[in-house]
Each structure stands twice: as structure tokens, then as C-alpha cells.
């Protein structure tokens, strides 16, 4: 009888933390960077003004993003775990993709943190 339970590969690789951090980073930048990006792309409308209502929640989203990405960092670059062949954590292209997504989320968080200081140049 096999008592070994299959481990959740997303738990080992930090995919859930990575996606949570990415979503929180998007929400953190939606109030300030979102309208500027949409208008720069030629997308306009009265609804864009409603994105500024997310402004008071930006510190909450930034905090959630930093915590989730810290956990994702530990899972992606932390101590190597033993992976069985065929699991997601054993595939180098998957790990590389997670690292790229992590970098994009960190860049977005950095932009959300810096943007209030340079916003007067754009508006």
C-alpha cells in the first residue's frame, strides 16, 4: 500500500504566491499608472476616472504584493527541493518562466512606488 501522497507542485514552486503578488501589483498600479497607460495607448472613456478610486487602497495592495512576492521568491530561489521527474518544479523552462514573471511583478511594484514622485511630469 502506497502511503506517499502526491505533493502539490504549485505549492513547491510558489505559483500561487507569484500569481497573488502579480495581481496585487497590478491592482496597486491601477490607480495611478493605469489611466496614464490607457490614455497613452489611445484608450479613453469616462470610466478611466473611476480607477483613481483605488488610490486609497494602494498601500494595502502594495503590502499584499510584497508579502506574496517574498514568499514566491523563497519558493523560486530558495533551497532546492527534491523533485520527482515529470513534476513542474523539475522543469527548467517552467522555473525560468516563473523567474521572468517574478521580475515583471517586481518591476510593476517598483513603478507603483516611484510613480507618485514623478507623476507631476505626466499630468
Q: Residue 34 burial (CB < 10 Å; 0-12/13-18/19+)? A: middle
- Mean pLDDT per block of 10 residues along the chain (123 residues) reads 46 73 80 75 76 79 86 77 67 83 87 78 70
The CA R_g of the chain, rounded to the nearest whole Å, is 18
Return the pLDDT at 88: 66
CB-based contacts of 49, cutoff 8 Å, min separation 6: 35
Q: Residue 113 burial (CB < 10 Å; 0-12/13-18/19+)? A: middle
Return the pLDDT at 80: 64
Return the pLDDT at 54: 75
Domain boundaries, the chain: 12-121
Set of cell numbers at residue 53: 478610486
Contact assessment for residue 62 and residue 112, using Cβ atoms and an 8 Å cutoff: yes
Return the pLDDT at 51: 75
CB-based contacts of 17, cutoff 8 Å, min separation 6: 68, 69, 71, 72, 75
Return the pLDDT at 6: 43
Amino acid at each position: 500500500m502506497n502511503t506517499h501522497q502526491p505533493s502539490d507542485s504549485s505549492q513547491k514552486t510558489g505559483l500561487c504566491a507569484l500569481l497573488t503578488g502579480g495581481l496585487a501589483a497590478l491592482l496597486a498600479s491601477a490607480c495611478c499608472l493605469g489611466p496614464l497607460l490607457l490614455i497613452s495607448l489611445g484608450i479613453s472613456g469616462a470610466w478611466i476616472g473611476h480607477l483613481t478610486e483605488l488610490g486609497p487602497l494602494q498601500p494595502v495592495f502594495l503590502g499584499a504584493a510584497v508579502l506574496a512576492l517574498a514568499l514566491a521568491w523563497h519558493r523560486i530561489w530558495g533551497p532546492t527541493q527534491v523533485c520527482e521527474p515529470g513534476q513542474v518544479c523539475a522543469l527548467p523552462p517552467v522555473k525560468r518562466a516563473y523567474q521572468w514573471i517574478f521580475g515583471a511583478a517586481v518591476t510593476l511594484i517598483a513603478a507603483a512606488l516611484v510613480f507618485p514622485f514623478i507623476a507631476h511630469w505626466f499630468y
